[in-house]
Amino acid sequence: MVQWYPGHMAKATRLIRERLKEVDVVIELLDARIPLSSRNPQIDDIVGNKPRLILFNKADLADPAATEAWLGWFADAAQRVLPLDAASGKGVEKIVPACEALVREKREALQRRGVQPPPVRAMILGIPNVGKSTLINRLIARKAAKTGNRPGVTQQQQWFTVRGKLQLLDTPGVLWPKFDDPEVGFRLAATGAVKDEVFDVAEVAAYTLRRLQERYKESLFQRYRLAQDAVEPWEWLEDIGRQRGCLVGGGEVDLEKAAAVFLHDFRTGKIGRISLEWPPTETTN
């Protein structure tokens, strides 16, 4: 069990609960590579019955077959999901119409009473480094929300207006008090949702290599000249370190540097489109 819960996250969770009454819709942003592990298990309790739109961000980095399977899995649970890539803007244009559809009955009721409905007010929630600020900047077509490639960049709540049709409340990324399943922690660490200082980066790289060994071995071989008869991911990590010059005195491999190189390749899609998690009905999840 991994426990970590900085004070600013506890405060952010409290503020989210307090401001939920101000919005019509909750937008839940997930990492398409790990939709279940990137979903805060407290979200249902926090959001309650508020209409919700789920977004799979970084879909361009995820395995398309896995994303399709996840879309079906969420649809079976009667949850509206849209895959997108906030960095390039692909799929972002569907967000405003989807939010309006979630509150159509309420808005039509206002119109029948002769009241012009105001813009839909939405709150965007997600774990650190899932791309909330990048998505907001894409939606409003200007750099207003602070972005970064490390967890915990957004520290406060801000309102943004999207084309006069949507008022969007940004919130800090919030993790949960503990990871009961260590695999969840490793998946979050592999995708960069948890700071590298929290986990042993070499252990995270070895875990990720092991997962890729199960489904994406050919992608690994195409990216690196790996020993195909290797059994342990540590052997592959050493191979990667030697290839990339991550050496210390005596020609030994610096596993921490090798791990950083490999995880950067994984996180930026240089190894290929890879999902670390498949729906529970799949044989490998």
- What's the pLDDT score for residue 253? 95
Q: Is the pLDDT of residue 92 over 50?
A: yes
Q: pLDDT per residue over 203-214, tens digit each?
A: 999 999 999 999
The residue ranking higher by pLDDT, 248 or 147, is 248
- Map out the domains of the chain as residue ranges: 2-170, 200-267
As a whole number, mean pLDDT of residues 52-71 equals 97
Q: pLDDT per residue over 105-129, tens digit each?
A: 988 998 999 998 889 999 998 888 8
Does domain 2-170 bear CATH number 3.40.50.10860? no
The CATH T-level fold of domain 200-267 is Conserved Hypothetical Protein Ylqf; Chain: A; domain 2 (1.10.1580)
Lowest mean pLDDT among 44-48, 71-75, 158-162, 172-176: 172-176
Q: Mean pLDDT for the chain?
A: 86
| One-letter-per-residue 3-state SS of the chain | CEECCCHHHHHHHHHHHHHHHHCCEEEEEEECCCCCCCCCCCHHHHHCCCCEEEEEECCCCCCHHHHHHHHHHHHHCCCEEEECECCCCECHHHHHHHHHHHCHHHHHHHHHCCCCCCCEEEEEEECCCCCHHHHHHHHHCCCCCCCCCCCCCCCCCEEEEECCCEEEEECCCCCCCEECCHHHHHHHHHHCCCCCCCCCHHHHHHHHHHHHHHHCHHHHHHHCCCCCCCCCHHHHHHHHHHHCCCECHHHCECHHHHHHHHHHHHHCCCCCCCCCCCCCCCCCC
- What's the pLDDT score for residue 179? 64
- What's the pLDDT score for residue 153? 39
The residue ranking higher by pLDDT, 12 or 223, is 223
Q: Is the pLDDT of residue 102 over 90?
A: yes
Question: What global pTM score does this model have?
Answer: 0.86
Q: pLDDT per residue over 137-192, tens digit each?
A: 999 886 555 544 444 434 456 788 888 889 998 877 676 555 678 888 899 999 99
As a whole number, mean pLDDT of residues 13-32 equals 90
Q: Is the pLDDT of residue 199 over 90?
A: no
pLDDT tier at 96, thresholds 50, 70, 90: very high
The residue ranking higher by pLDDT, 151 or 72, is 72
